[in-house]
Every structure is written in C-alpha cells, then in structure tokens.
C-alpha cells in the first residue's frame, strides 16, 4: 500500500452531502497519497438537504436510503471509508451519546488530521453543532481515563471547511490550527 499509511484523515460531516463538495479534493488527495481517509456522517441530511426527494413524495426511510447510497458512492470514488451515525438533522441535536460515538471513531482511526465544519454558520445550525461535537470528541479521546476502547489520542490538528459564504463563517481556533476555508 502506500508510503503514507500512518497518516489518517478524519472528516466529520453533519449531513451526508457535506463532505463531498467541502472536502472532496482533500479526501481524494489523501487517498491518492495512500493515506487512510475516513468520513463520518452524523446524519443523512434527510430532512434539511433532500428537498427534491421530499417533493417526489418519498418517505423518510426511502430518503435516508437514497442519501446513504449517494454518500457511499461518493466516498468510494474519493477513496474513503464512510460510516453513518444516523443522528437526525434539522436539527442535529448535540448529545453526550453522539459525542461518545465520535470519541470511539477517533480512538479507532487515530486521525493525524481532522476536517470539519466551521464553528459559526448563520445559515445552518447543524454545521456548528457538528463542529462542536467533533472538537469535544477530539478532546475527550485524548484523555487517558476516558472510557472508550483504544489508546488515548494524540493532538491532531483540526481544519474547518466552508466554501459556501465562507465570509460569514468562523474557522476553528483555540487549541487547534485554523486555516482558510478550503
């Protein structure tokens, strides 16, 4: 496999479609370098980002299945492993349970870099919620005493992505490196 097999990119995506156009290039690049790339979709975007399917009269379950298939196909093209936590959207509710699930992903894939949403997005509350949980899970995963399988995490840098109206968004800062929106 690749020369960079120890590098591991983790992308935390609020909705199933977010990672595709916000981080697709970074994921493809990581995969092309032989790095591990993992996408976690906290929801399918089934309520807030599936307008066409609702207008076609599809049911909630049908829409989730549709969105899951689309996201899996996208991840396959990009070269990433993908998983879904099915936490619901609009609103995506923050919870300790969901954060704990993310901690377990961190401990499992031991990311060397993390990409997620911005902490401020006046047009979509689910995106900052995902970012807050991604950051909190990163901190918890670093705690040796936190009760989750695996070794305590190092301190992977976190970068924010938001190409849509990026001037209205705020990237991650405290405790993690920030970057211009991708």
Using CB under 5 A, list all residues that contact Zn ion: 14-15, 18
By C-beta, is 36 or 161 nearer to Zn ion? 161
Q: Minimal distance in Å, beta carbon 124 to Zn ion?
A: 6
Q: Minimal distance in Å, beta carbon 161 to Zn ion?
A: 11
Phi, psi at residue 42, to the nearest 5°?
A: -70, -30
Q: Minimal distance in Å, beta carbon 4 to Zn ion?
A: 29
Q: What's the token pair of residue 155? A: 């301190």
3-class secondary structure, 96: helix
By C-beta, is 14 or 103 nearer to Zn ion? 14
Phi and psi based region of residue 84 (left: phi greater than 0; alpha: psi -120 to 50; beta: remaining): beta
DSSP 10: E
By C-beta, is 131 or 140 nearer to Zn ion? 131
By C-beta, is 110 or 169 nearer to Zn ion? 169
Which residues are CB-neighbours of 171 under 8 A, at least 6 positions away?
118, 119, 159, 160, 162, 178, 179, 180, 181
Closest residue by beta carbon to Zn ion: 15
Q: Minimal distance in Å, beta carbon 170 to Zn ion?
A: 16
């Amino acid at each position: 496999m690749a020369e960079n097999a120890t590098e591991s990119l983790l992308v935390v995506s609020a909705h199933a479609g977010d990672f595709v156009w916000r981080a697709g290039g970074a994921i493809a690049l990581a995969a092309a370098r032989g790095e591990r790339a993992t996408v976690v979709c906290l929801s399918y975007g089934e309520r807030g980002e599936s307008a066409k399917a609702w207008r076609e009269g599809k049911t909630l379950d049908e829409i989730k299945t549709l969105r899951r298939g689309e996201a899996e196909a996208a991840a396959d093209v990009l070269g990433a492993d993908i998983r879904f936590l099915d936490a619901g959207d609009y609103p995506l509710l923050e919870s300790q349970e969901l954060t704990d699930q993310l901690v377990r992903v961190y401990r499992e894939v031991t990311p060397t870099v993390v990409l997620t949403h911005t902490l401020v997005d006046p047009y979509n509350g689910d995106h900052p919620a995902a970012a807050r949980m991604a950051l909190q899970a990163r901190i918890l995963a670093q705690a040796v005493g936190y009760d989750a399988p695996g070794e305590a995490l190092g301190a992977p840098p976190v970068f924010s992505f938001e190409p849509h109206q990026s001037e209205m968004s705020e990237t991650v800062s405290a405790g993690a490196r920030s970057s211009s929106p991708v």
